[in-house]
Amino acid sequence: MAERLVVIGGDAAGMAAAAEARRRKPYLEIVALERTGWVSYSACGIPYLVGGEVAGVDDLVARTAQEHREQRIDVRLHHEVKAIDLAARVLEVRDGQRRRTFQLDFDQLHIATGARPTRPDLPGISGESVKGVQTLDDATALLDHARTSRCRTVVVVGGGYIGLEMCEAFVRWGAEVTLVEGADQLMGTLDPDMAARLRDPIRGLGVDVRLGAQVAAFEPGRVLMADGASLPADLVVLGLGVTPNSELAAAAGVATGARGAIAVDRRQRTDADGVFAAGDCCTSPHLVSGRQVHIALGTVANKQGRVAGTNLGGGYATFPGVVGSAITKVCSLEVARTGLNEREATAAGFEWSAATIETTTRAGYLPDAEPMTVKLLGERGTRRLLGGQIIGGNAAGKRIDTLAVALHARMRVDDIIDLDLAYAPPFSSVWDPVAVAARALSRQLEEP
Amino acid sequence: MAERLVVIGGDAAGMAAAAEARRRKPYLEIVALERTGWVSYSACGIPYLVGGEVAGVDDLVARTAQEHREQRIDVRLHHEVKAIDLAARVLEVRDGQRRRTFQLDFDQLHIATGARPTRPDLPGISGESVKGVQTLDDATALLDHARTSRCRTVVVVGGGYIGLEMCEAFVRWGAEVTLVEGADQLMGTLDPDMAARLRDPIRGLGVDVRLGAQVAAFEPGRVLMADGASLPADLVVLGLGVTPNSELAAAAGVATGARGAIAVDRRQRTDADGVFAAGDCCTSPHLVSGRQVHIALGTVANKQGRVAGTNLGGGYATFPGVVGSAITKVCSLEVARTGLNEREATAAGFEWSAATIETTTRAGYLPDAEPMTVKLLGERGTRRLLGGQIIGGNAAGKRIDTLAVALHARMRVDDIIDLDLAYAPPFSSVWDPVAVAARALSRQLEEP
């Protein structure tokens, strides 16, 4: 009998691994079990689907189940794994359409079960109108509910990336949107001084932004707040981050780590023999803090999946780690970050200085030059770059990658000043914004 | 008597040094001699002045002579240095306004004489209507001539950055523009296959693009071509690159290097004691080829000037070198490059492979996703990244910086695949374009 690889979870981390393993081992039997009706889709595209910029759910599918099957990957939709028996090397699988449960043997196992929207333990949290946005099934459920309920009022809970993107999406949809955030700032991955720059633009969209606001309960048609306020809500969207789907693996005895995510080594191997994991369900090494972290992002899922697939296919590959890069666009503002913010740097034990500079996206003398703010953090003593945050107009955001690569290369702040970055007036002032910020931080690091 | 630093040349490389030396040595006497009537300006902004996007010449001045004087830098405009006597440590200076020549002692000397547009040795090259674009004096002369002659027809000679930018500028101005390029491709710093993508967009602007076209002579009102053609030309703009203004230093016995530019060490010191140089007049180390090169760019001039000024002011700084980054915007196309192209890589002795990929500036499922092409070169054997070229729509160009930093860090092509670059659908597909290109090149490098 052929060697069998079973992949649990059919989005990026699962199918990237399956595809890579297939490429390397033509005779490997590969079965991919997916709980929902969709594989290989862009969950990050859901806000644009809701906002109407993307016409249909199918547009978010990078590769269909049928296309995978043509590569001899046996994709089975609506199949949920209920239990893993590592000793017997067998899975208990529930076929949701045929409503039967069966057993499936495996030689190697790849766990890519993803993550689910975090649901706070509050009255009414399981209500019909309280929706998370993680899978395409979630997206279709949310859209169905929104269309059915006409959805005049939306409360978004949580002011992170997904929360802000969903606010803009439902403004486009035509709803009255309230954003409820428990902390005193939006976008907790930014420092408060940077996050404060987002409040007015979001309010400018017409969103009622409520910071430091605690939800007390969800009721049909409204959200009750701890301060007694009642917010009308045909729909509630949860944007409180995600929880790794690691329970299945943990129940089988696979070790977990940061935030309960499945612990993996550089080759995406769990501590169980022949069992790999990748994506939102597992941990990643953070190259700046040196710690294992749980970062649920499509980019990481794809990269880890490819690494797992290479190893599952008999090759050798390692995932070097993350530096914490993320980006979003809210209204016409681009918001990006990488590395550690102030809170994270302190938590990781660094003594740091920070510098923030204001500049423009093009040479100041050109029309359409838009404001742009760059903040950098560096370690005192070593002068190592620790992180960066950028908020600005058109084409400001992806400049964060310059800093991301510098973090990968463990550059000092001073190294960044002299980087040979491309310049012409339509793109920046003659000193690149990133270099200007590095100069400011370099001076800060010299202060006693 | 106080120690005196004399700076020859008042644009970026000169005044950045003067300002930095002032900051570090409050009691240093600093005299800056500038041949033209302008200091500290953006020559890179001249095309936008001609095209009408910048209202006036003054807008291109970052800091006026008066502002420098307030920092006790004795700026003297219209002062041209005619000779340097290194043994006697004295300069012969021509004051163009008072029409007198005088001698000026120096303790330390900083040479920042820049470069001048290359003028081919052809009949009529010194004609009134044949203009280069390097200084603000050049720009005002060009604008004066264009306004006087009404300038209905313009011939741009040379299809590099300046040539293309001037084509677009004169199209905006309302002229009929012909672009004459001796080589078979535009933009000689790109590989032919990438440069070919520019031809149609430039023609789409309404520019008559003539490749492989040799000028025979310049006459008032027209340009005669080697093939017998006659091109109407109220104005001829030279875009054939620049020649370093190193003759003054060379005549004094200062050593020169690549393309006749002044040779400098890591601290911007020439081989003459107490004599520094920076900017378009001097050489730079290329971090990929390992060779000394002459790259005339405002970014390099500013950085080298700052390094020279730090050392002149008693500090210690070194200029690490360039990786060959450059960018421009032509019509709505962004064009960028870094590192070595195919020709340069071969000339530097590398055995290389290349890969080119097509992608989009945003996730393909979003509206307004524009085409984007990324080409990478890598060394065989070591798998080291050697260079990259990007052509694409909005916000495509500055992604070249990701590759520039990777070159500074001497990354391998494989390292680039797993870089934690920021992702959201408005900015790219889930695999960053740079990573997709690295994956393609990684496979190429495995081929025998």
- When pLDDT is averaged across residues B18-33 and rounded to a whole number, the result is 97
Chain A residues with CB under 8 Å of B40 CB are none
Angle CA A286–A192–A134, to nearest 5: 55
Active-site residue, A44 included: yes
Residue B398 phi/psi, 5° resolution?
Answer: -70, -5
Give the tens place of pLDDT for each residue, A332-352: 899 999 999 999 999 999 999
User: How confident is the model at residue A245, as a pLDDT?
Assistant: 98
pLDDT over 80 at A92, yes or no? yes
- Using the predicted structure, report yes or no on whether residue A440 has a pLDDT greater than 80: yes
Rounded to whole angstroms, the Cα distance separating B61 from B11 reads 10
Exposure string for A106-141, b = 16+ CB within 10 A, e = fewer: bebbbbbbbbbbeeeebebeeeebbbbbbbbebbbe
**Lowest mean pLDDT segment, chosen from A88-97, B23-32, B92-101, B128-137:** B128-137
B347 bridge partner residues: none
Write out pLDDT tens, residues B362-412: 999 999 999 999 999 999 999 999 999 999 999 999 999 999 999 999 999
pTM, two decimals, is: 0.96
Task: Say whether pLDDT at B117 is over 70.
Answer: yes
Residue B92 has φ and ψ, to the nearest 5°, of -100, 120
* In the predicted structure, residue A49 carries a pLDDT above the cut 90: yes
Give residue-wise pLDDT tens across range B200-218: 999 999 999 999 999 999 9
Question: What average pLDDT does this structure show over B224-243?
Answer: 96
Q: What Cα–Cα distance (Å) separates residue A93 from each residue in A6, A10, A237?
A: 11, 15, 31
Chain B residue nearest residue A418, CA to CA: B303
CB under 8 Å to B67, separation ≥6 — which residues? none
Dihedral Cα B219, B222, B225, B227, nearest 10 deg: -120
- Residue B147: the pLDDT is 86
- Does residue A211 carry a pLDDT above 70? yes
Q: Residues A3-26: what's their mean pLDDT?
A: 97
Query: Which residues of chain A are within 8 Å of residue B280 when distances are taken between CB atoms?
Result: none
Strand partners, B139: none
HEC states along B392-431?
A: ECCCCHHHHHHHHHHHHCCCEHHHHHCCCCCCCCCCCCCC
> Shortest CB distance from A395 goes to which of B62, B322, B398?
B398
d(CA A2, CA B425): 39
Residue A430 contacts residue A412 (beta carbons within 8 Å): no
Task: Please report which confidence band the pLDDT of residue A187 belongs to, taking 50, 70 and 90 as the band edges.
Answer: very high
Chain B closest-CA separation from residue A131 CA (Å) = 21
Please, what is the average pLDDT of chain B?
Answer: 96
The tokens describing A231, both together, are 């917010």
- Cite the DSSP H helix spans in B205-330: 247-251, 298-312
- pLDDT category at B1 given cuts 50, 70, 90 is low
Nearest to B419 among A405, A423, A426 (CB): A405
What is the token pair recorded at B413?
């092509």
To the nearest whole Å, the CA of B270 is away from the closest chain A CA by 20
Contact between B263 and B255 under an 8 Å Cβ cutoff? The reply is yes
Say which range, A47-51, A378-382, B336-340, B420-424, has the weakest mean pLDDT: A47-51
Residue ranges in B174-243 assigned as alpha helix (H): 192-204
pLDDT single digits (tens) B44-73: 999 999 999 998 999 999 999 999 999 999
- The two tokens of residue A422 are 């491309």
Domains in chain A (CATH in brackets) are 4-44+51-116+242-312 (3.50.50.60), 119-238 (3.50.50.60), 332-446 (3.30.390.30)
Task: Give the rounded distance of the alpha carbon of B327 from its chain centre.
Answer: 10
For B51, nearest residue in chain A (alpha carbons): A366
For residue B339, give how far its alpha carbon lies from the nearest alpha carbon of chain A (Å).
10
Burial letters for B377-414: b for 16+ Cβ neighbours within 10 Å, e otherwise? bbbeeebbbbbbbbbbbbbbbbbbbbbbbbbbbebbbb
Share of chain B above pLDDT 70, in %: 100
pLDDT of residue B168: 95
Q: Is the per-residue pLDDT at A153 higher than 70?
A: yes
Query: Rounded to an integer, what distance in angstroms lies between the CA atom of residue B431 and that of residue B439?
Result: 10
- As a whole number of angstroms, the distance between CA B11 and CA B62 comes to 10
pLDDT at B299: 96
pLDDT in tens, B265-320: 999 999 999 999 999 999 999 999 999 999 999 999 999 999 999 999 999 999 99
Chain centre to alpha carbon of residue B137: 18
A139 to each of A48, A382, B3, how far by Cα in Å?
11, 46, 73
* Of B195, B125, B120, residue with least CA distance to B161: B195
State the Cα–Cα distance between residues B413 and B357, nearest whole angstrom.
15
* Per-residue pLDDT at B43 exceeds 80: yes
Distance CA A82, CA A4 (A): 19
Residue A283 pLDDT exceeds 90: yes
Report, as residue numbers or ranges, the catalytic residues of B.
44
Q: A150 pLDDT exceeds 90?
A: no
CA distance A361 to chain B (A): 11
Question: Nearest Cα to A318, choosing from A331, A330, A328, A309?
Answer: A309
Helix/strand/coil for A434:
helix
Convert the pLDDT of each residue in B137-185 to its tens digit: 889 998 888 888 888 999 999 999 999 999 999 999 999 999 999 999 9
CA–CA dist A22, A75 (Å, integer): 13
Question: Which residue, among B37, B39, B28, B25, has the nearest Cα to B5 in the 3D structure?
Answer: B28
Q: How confident is the model at residue A447 (pLDDT cuts 50, 70, 90)?
A: confident
What was the pLDDT predicted at A147?
A: 86
Which pLDDT belongs to residue A149?
80
Bridge partner list, B328: B335
Distance separating alpha carbons of residues A404 and A291, to the nearest angstrom: 17
> CA A426, CA B168: separation in Å to the nearest integer?
13
* Cβ-based contacts under 8 A for chains A and B: 212
Nearest by CB: A366 against B53, B402, B405: B53
Backbone phi, psi, residue A226, to 5°: -60, -30
CA B229 to the chain's CA centroid: 31
| Closest chain B residue to the Cα of A409, Cα to Cα | B409
Per-residue pLDDT, averaged over B349-368, amounts to 96
- Cα separation, A295 vs A308, in Å, equals 17
Q: Which of A60, A68, A32, A35 is nearest to A139 (CA)?
A: A60
Chain B residues inside the 8 Å CB shell of A422: 325-327, 336, 338, 397-398, 400-401, 404
Q: Tell me whether residues B422 and A404 touch, CB distance under 8 A.
A: yes
For residue A340, give the DSSP letter. Answer: -
For the ranges A133-142, A359-368, B323-332, which has the lowest average pLDDT? A133-142
Cβ neighbours of A399 (radius 10 Å)? 29
User: CB distance B424–A328 less than 8 Å?
Assistant: yes
- CA end-to-end span of chain B: 69
Residue with tokens 């695999």: B431
Q: Is the Cβ–Cβ distance between B129 and B236 less than 8 Å? A: yes
Confidence grade of residue A1 (pLDDT, cut at 50, 70, 90): low
B225 falls in which pLDDT band (50, 70, 90)? very high
| Bridge partner residues of A391 (DSSP) | A335, A373
Closest CA to B32 of B13, B56, B7: B7
Residue labelled with tokens 């040779």: B263
Residue of A nearest to B409 (CA): A409
Residue A353: CB atoms within 10 Å? 20
Q: Is pLDDT of B336 > 90?
A: yes
Distance CA B334, CA B401 (A): 13
User: Which residues of B are less than 8 Å from A404 in CB distance?
Assistant: 402, 419-422
ipTM of the complex: 0.96
pLDDT over 90 at A438, yes or no: yes
CA–CA gap between residue A240 and residue B92 (Å, rounded): 72
Q: How many CB atoms lie within 10 A of CB A57?
A: 18
pLDDT tens, residue by residue, A102-146 = 999 999 999 999 999 999 999 999 999 999 988 898 899 888 888
